[in-house]
Structure 1
């Protein structure tokens, strides 16, 4: 198999010392425990953020669609990717380059041992674990949160992945072909896993941890219970156990989750007996549980009705009302509207069907590109979906419920008549949002004639 050995030798013929030092720093962004730690912290923050913004209602936390579930599942996807990497390394058993990068003369003595261990790492070289792990972790982080635009997030993730991957070649611990394979496998794995999770009958966290446990067990068998496969299996089993036992729910625990928790605990016990290293298994299992517990606490407080909103302390989580195609068609019935709302003449049934079949989460740009030109008759004027949603300044919608509720807040009887506007209700055209109470009469007339 050609892996670019001649290219590697050519590059290292004139490698400046400053580039070696930079590569030694950048490559840390792809270290196993770095990507796992970053993903764990990000999952906590995203779960908390969704709870404070009301994105995770009790119903969504337990039975909602995958895109409305908490972000705890993210860490399991990353661990699963690392398990796939371990499996492939032991399947191909291809060595690392024999070339060893030079130690820069300007390297401080205190960092010399760390640098040497980085450039003399052992194990198999194909595919690159740093390239694969960085692709999965940073790619997932680019697809999940709502900060900035998706294009910007993907661009940043791409830069990080390329930087980490190139650093492995600069340090001569991988051939160019290794990092190309790592990125390709990482992308394929991420796409496949997200596709599977969208179609799972269980909540996303349960599905993700179960899938990861299966992948880790495969790595365990292929590697003959060596390497990090033991750690990955214990991480997945610990996280799955913690989620199955502590997952928030408004109804009694169901049999499938009790069975899953029992099997996960059995996997931990069997792993400890098989590997003979109780401490390693216990520590990894506890870390897996710790990755999950904060999210379960946050979600349980949401279900218990505690307000987690931090914007102004006045907004509480409430389920979406009349969302989906049925809710849209309900608006179109004159008998269900007040005189003020009836003249809007809302006909949103077909659009509701389209939004219901849309793949979520979806960015605002993608949503507008596919459905932004959909025309909605409102009195004597016609508005498009893009014109309706533009004042909301949303970067990404997690579900059809969010989009439909946003539109309904614009045009429905409920939005025009209620006294307390939510943060998701846009201001009247040409007016600032009222701080208290309902809009004035002039603002209301402007809304109705939009």
Structure 2
């Protein structure tokens, strides 16, 4: 285990970073966290081209489902809790933050057409490295965990982009399939049920509503942000409060992504 997870190298990195510097990696790690990714993807979907944003959202869900399933398969522990600067639960291999960061920023670089392509990928690579390194520095992963997570996510993203070809319905269907894999591989848990439900919610909402791709007007954008963000936070809090009531967790997860997809349609009609 120590060999492929590079435990001694990880300890060398942690020891080389002064505690005062290591503290800066605590907020940096959230660039690959669920809360930041959710908020970023909501605003991206509501305010920009919805086909591309929905595709990216589905790919992030698919990557999350894949890593949740593999964590259950490998069932490898995290580093000792006494070395960690933050509380982290669940298994340690591969790194979920590295996967989410790679799919989120790599997918964003691939799907948007702003600026130069090389610059977009360079910025994505920097963010992925920062998130991955932060997981080692704050003591919740080994180098092998983040390297495997980033490599897995890059391979998944390369294949998924060619399978879905920019079509959100295909992307959500892929995510739902991977959600089912996660549930089968890792068994019922808050993470597996949440990611499966979120993927199903996105697939159902997109299939039923088929939202227009155009970005919001300024009035729509203000309404979406003011109404949408508090509602998403409320649903997310309710999901966490549901604990291990898995049917409720699943229903709230379906509602969460379904609400995100449906809100622009409702606001446009009003």
Q: TM above 0.5, one fold?
A: yes
- When normalised by structure 1's length, the TM-score is 0.49
Provide the residue aligned with 1:291 in structure 2.
Answer: 260
Aligned to 2:200: 237
Greater helix content: 2
Report the counterpart of residue 75 of structure 1 in structure 2: 57
Aligned to 2:160: 193
Unaligned runs of 5+ in 2: 213-243
Whether 2:125 is the aligned partner of 1:158: answer yes
Report if aligned partners of 1:220, 1:233 keep a CA contact under 8 Å in 2.
yes
Query: Secondary structure of the equivalent of 1:177?
Result: helix
Count of residue pairs brought into register by the alignment: 236
CA RMSD of aligned residues (A): 2.2
- In the alignment, is the contact (CA less than 8 A) between 1:247 and 1:296 conserved in 2? no
Q: CA deviation at 1:80?
A: 0.6
Question: Does the Cα contact within 8 Å between 2:205 and 2:258 map onto a contact in 1?
Answer: yes
Q: Deviations over 1:383-431 (max 9, x none)?
A: xxxxxxxxxxxxxxxxxxxxxxxxxxxxxxxxxxxxxxxxxxxxxxxxx
SS for the counterpart of 1:225 is coil
Question: What is the Cα deviation at residue 71 of structure 1?
Answer: 3.3
Residue from 186, 211, 228 that aligns with 2:191? 228
Conserved? CA contact 2:183–2:192, under 8 Å? yes
Q: Which runs of 5+ in 1 are unaligned?
A: 49-68, 103-115, 250-274, 302-450
Which of 135, 151, 158 in structure 2 is aligned with 1:168? 135
Cα gap change, 1:70/1:174 in structure 2, threshold over 3 Å: closer, same or farther? closer
Q: Which of 1 and 2 has greater Rg?
A: 1
The structure-2 alpha-carbon separation of the partners of 1:188 and 1:14, relative to structure 1 and needing over 3 Å to count, comes to closer
Higher RCO by CA contacts (8 Å cutoff, separation 6 or greater): 2
**Residue deviations 1:350-381, cap 9 Å, x none?**
xxxxxxxxxxxxxxxxxxxxxxxxxxxxxxxx
Could you list the per-position Cα deviations for residues 93-136 of structure 1 after superposition, in whole angstroms to 9, with x for gaps in the alignment?
1111126337xxxxxxxxxxxxx5x2x31211111111111000
